[in-house]
Structure 1
Amino acid sequence: MTATPAQPYSPSLPRAHRPRRRLPRTPGPLGDALTLMALPLLAALALPAAFAGGGTRRWFGGRAESQRAEAQAAKDAAAAAFYELDTAQRDLRISIETITAVDASSAARRAVADFDALGRRIDEASHQYISAVDAHDLDRDDLEASAAARARTELTAAKEELDRVKQELDRFTDGLGPLLGKAETQLARLAPAVERARQALLAASNALDSVRTTGLKADDLAARLAALSPELTKLNQGAGQHGVPQTLERAERVTREAEAVRVEAERLPERAAEIDHRLVSLRTRAQALTTRSEQVDPILSELRRRFTVACWQDLQRVPDIAAENVRQAETKLAEAHTARAEQRWADATALLSTVRALLNTTDEAVSAAGDRLHRLNAVQKDPQQEIDRTRFAIRDAQRLAMAGRNTPDPRHARPLDDAVSRLERAVATLDGRHPDYWHFLTETEAVRRAVSRVVSLIRDERGAAGH
């Protein structure tokens, strides 16, 4: 037996287990004749023993034969214990090798050290057994009872020691359960993981080939797939060279990246069509915004003619900003078209996103001018509607603040009182010859926002108290 899993121990068989040598047989007719001549002689020699009632061992008495039988039984029991321990150690060595192939943790290293120590105990017990077997030839015809008794004692002691070591080995094996389970789980995952990686790479390659038949190059995807080739080589070299955890991690990464390449390759025709659609759509939108931006100047003229400077001053640069944004958008659209023609899909997508952002900004600016004129016309015609809307918001918040209370909470009452005062000041600004309607609108909006914050605060506090 052995103390380390790397070098299996193969002890020489004890004397009792060694094959007996046979006398050579003389070949040919001469040998057959000699055999026939010897038969009567052997029969004559055997007759006295036969008449004595058995073999020659009977001459030494029953006690010696009884001791020999007991010694032989002890020898057989020790041999069985030796075989059982040897088998258990071999099985345990496989478990240790499984753990060390997967696990490099301190617990795994400690298990290997404990196995080495246990191996030395097994070697000692095995040596005791082999020595006991070699020291006594139980097949001797002149075996004395005392010698047979000594043999039985030594062989019984050897068996008991083998049994004790086997018990230690069994306890050690039971303690390896968690480590071995983890290792076996990882090993069970290894082959399927590597196979999934290979299949993912094959699927990605097939998807690229299919896309290329439609006239799409997909050079960037091909480069990404080629970068995985060294990883496939390492997977093929196996976990024995690169380690089980590392191979598992590599297989999962290759699977993930190859799958991403496959998905993008399969989606590439759809992506190309989407880019073509966006090119047309954004070009149409840019043309429409060009037309709309031309209407901003008449709107500004009306704002200047009918309202104070504060009502339109921040809109002065809208026509220039709109024209510049549309010009930039058209330039980026041309660049995106070129990128699409060269199948630089990422560049085309990024450029189209820039175009969209420019057009959104332009749309908001152009819309702001028309919305400003519309709102100023409405408040100039009937400011009471805006006043009533704001007062209703304040009164609703005041009722909420007083619900279930005799006096309002100062944290709620103070901002609501401020809102009332602020609304009154905003209404007072309408009494002048040239009212600043835009200031009035922005003030009423600010008052409603402040009131909304108080309402949210009250509801949050009451919700928390209810819980």
Structure 2
Amino acid sequence: MSNDWTGRSAQPRRPGRQGPPPSPLALAHEARGALQEQFYRVDQFQSDIGGTVKLYAELLPERAGRTGVVPGWATLDAKATELIVAYLEALDRFDPLEECTPAQVIDATHLFGQLAPKLGLLGNDMEGFLERFGPELRRVGEVRHQVETRLGAAAAKVQEAEAAWLRMTNDGFQFEVADQAIARARIAGRKLAAAGSLLTPDKATEGAEVVEKLASEALALATDLPRRAATLRNRIPSLATRIDALETRAGSVPEAMRALRREFSTPNWDDLARRETDVAELLADARSRVARLRQLHEAGDLTAALVALDELETRLDEAGTVVDGPRERLALLRALRDDPQHRYDTTRFQLRDARYLIMNGKTVASQPWAGRLDRAAAELIALEGLLEGHHHPDYWDLHVRLDALNQQIRTLIDDYRAAH
């Protein structure tokens, strides 16, 4: 919208028959109306453009520092504030017009006539600003859409977790840990949504990732806990059966340890001997834990029952290591003693594959890959001489070091592929 400001306070009259000239009060009302029209126009521009520029500076600070949007608007905004103050003072000074003296009415008409063109020209400048920087300011909408999309995705994750939590409660399950998790996800989601209008895309992504992590934790608990609780009735008998099987296998521990002591030097089995007497204690503890688990399940304390289940399974894994350790160690040491070359060859082939991958037809490998290859090769050469000249070799140490070298080579291969 543009305006022609000529200093005239009234529209030209039609030719022909003339009516009585307008009274001074009517001219004052007309001037005030024209002034108010321009004020409303400037006020609307100031509100709309000013709000967008503020968001532009907050959401796109790097761009705002390079373009002339913010300083250009600041100049117009300062002029607008100055003229609006003058406008309000003018209205207040001659309010109401009907009670003003004739001299005051003339003064009001003159003042209104001075301010209206100034506001009109400022409105034109604001309109020109919008035409010039409109494409740049439209980036605010794009950023807002990007932020809203990211926040919407996070909110959807919270809703998914809430749906799972509601299904859990509707099925008659109640777990305090799940209740706390969904509460944390909800609170984080509400805080993120409340801050959404002020977030840059990076900040929105950062906050959304936190919300999604909390929602995923809540979803996992609301889904997993009821499923595990529902299987408790069948899990308890199976755990008792597992303990029976461990107890049966425990009978072979003394025989396996005797064979280890007879066939191999102390370093090969000393770590197992230190735990040989733990077998009976571990199995007794496991049976006690099964009985406690059964009591908790029958009492309906599912939260405590699941905690007890986790602890019991950890203890059974430990017991299985102690019970099966001597037998498995004996088989491993015998195989290594009877054919150590097989283990060396396995590592050698793996090292050769790593060398082929890194060299790739070149005569010299680049760093740091060449250094890592050389260190692995040197370790293999050292291990190949580990058994020489020993009447009672430490096969277990050889096994541990070969395993470590194999892992070192696999890591080298993975790192090289990731870098290329």
The TM-score range, normalised by the shorter chain, is 0.5 to 0.7
Partner in structure 1 of residue 204 of structure 2: none
User: Aligned-pair distance for 1:257?
Assistant: 9.1
Opposite residue 284 of structure 2, the aligned amino acid is R
User: Aligned-pair distance for 1:163?
Assistant: 2.6
**Pair 1:261–1:167, CA change in 2 (3 A):** same
Deviations 1:153-186 (A, max 9, x none): 877546434534655776899999979x78xx79
From 382, 387, 405, the equivalent of 1:426 is 387
Q: SS of the counterpart of 2:231?
A: helix
Partner in structure 2 of residue 82 of structure 1: 35
User: Aligned-pair distance for 1:294?
Assistant: 1.9
**Pair 1:114–1:320, CA change in 2 (3 A):** farther
From 245, 261, 268, the equivalent of 1:288 is 245
**Pair 1:130–1:292, CA change in 2 (3 A):** same
Partner in structure 1 of residue 85 of structure 2: 120
Opposite residue 291 of structure 1, the aligned amino acid is T
Partner in structure 2 of residue 390 of structure 1: 344
Q: Does 1:443 align with 2:398?
A: yes
Matches within 5 A, 1:315-394: 315-378=272-335, 383=338, 385-387=339-341, 389-390=343-344, 393-394=347-348
Deviations 1:20-64 (A, max 9, x none): xxxxxxxxxxxxxxxxxxxxxxxxxxxxxxxxxx9996xxxxxxx
**Pair 1:463–1:329, CA change in 2 (3 A):** closer
User: Aligned-pair distance for 1:291?
Assistant: 1.6
User: Aligned-pair distance for 1:423?
Assistant: 2.6
Does the aligned pair in 2 maintain the 1:122–1:165 contact within 8 Å?
no
Opposite residue 37 of structure 2, the aligned amino acid is E
Deviations 1:264-290 (A, max 9, x none): 668764342033343333332222112
User: Aligned-pair distance for 1:119?
Assistant: 2.7
Matches within 5 A, 1:138-287: 157=114, 159-164=116-121, 166-167=123-124, 210-212=170-172, 216=173, 269-287=226-244
Does the aligned pair in 1 maintain the 2:351–2:409 contact within 8 Å?
yes
State, as a whole percentage, how many aligned pairs show the same letter: 19
Opposite residue 387 of structure 1, the aligned amino acid is Q
**Pair 1:346–1:83, CA change in 2 (3 A):** same
Deviations 1:433-457 (A, max 9, x none): xx435x1464366357558757976
Distance 1:224 1:391 in 2: 52
Opposite residue 81 of structure 1, the aligned amino acid is A
**Pair 1:90–1:335, CA change in 2 (3 A):** farther
Deviations 1:137-168 (A, max 9, x none): 9xxxxxxxxx9xx9998775464345346557
Give the TM-score normalised by structure 1. 0.50
Distance 1:291 1:366 in 2: 10
| Higher Cα Rg, which structure | 1
Q: SS of the counterpart of 1:436?
A: coil
**Pair 1:273–1:367, CA change in 2 (3 A):** same
Deviates more, 1:271-280 or 1:413-422: 413-422
**Pair 1:278–1:379, CA change in 2 (3 A):** same
Opposite residue 303 of structure 1, the aligned amino acid is L
User: Aligned-pair distance for 1:325?
Assistant: 2.0
Q: SS of the counterpart of 1:428?
A: coil
Deviations 1:165-212 (A, max 9, x none): 655776899999979x78xx79xx9xxx9xx9xx99997997577334
Deviations 1:401-451 (A, max 9, x none): 9986599x898668746744653451433xxxxx435x1464366357558
Distance 1:121 1:421 in 2: 92
User: Aligned-pair distance for 1:387?
Assistant: 2.6
- Structure 2: which 5+ runs fail to align? 1-9, 11-16, 59-69, 200-207
Matches within 5 A, 1:36-55: none
Does the aligned pair in 2 maintain the 1:201–1:259 contact within 8 Å?
yes
Query: What is the aligned residue count?
Result: 357
Does the aligned pair in 2 maintain the 1:329–1:358 contact within 8 Å?
yes
Distance 1:246 1:390 in 2: 60
Does the aligned pair in 2 maintain the 1:221–1:261 contact within 8 Å?
yes
**Pair 1:129–1:266, CA change in 2 (3 A):** same
Does the aligned pair in 2 maintain the 1:132–1:154 contact within 8 Å?
no
Give the TM-score normalised by structure 2. 0.55
Does the aligned pair in 2 maintain the 1:333–1:355 contact within 8 Å?
yes
Does the aligned pair in 1 maintain the 2:178–2:222 contact within 8 Å?
yes
Opposite residue 331 of structure 1, the aligned amino acid is S
User: Aligned-pair distance for 1:125?
Assistant: 5.4
User: Aligned-pair distance for 1:87?
Assistant: 3.5
Distance 2:179 2:376 in 1: 64
CA RMSD, 1 decimal: 6.7
Does the aligned pair in 1 maintain the 2:376–2:405 contact within 8 Å?
yes
**Pair 1:70–1:201, CA change in 2 (3 A):** farther
Opposite residue 363 of structure 1, the aligned amino acid is G
Does the aligned pair in 1 maintain the 2:250–2:279 contact within 8 Å?
yes
Does the aligned pair in 2 maintain the 1:283–1:330 contact within 8 Å?
yes
Distance 1:340 1:374 in 2: 41
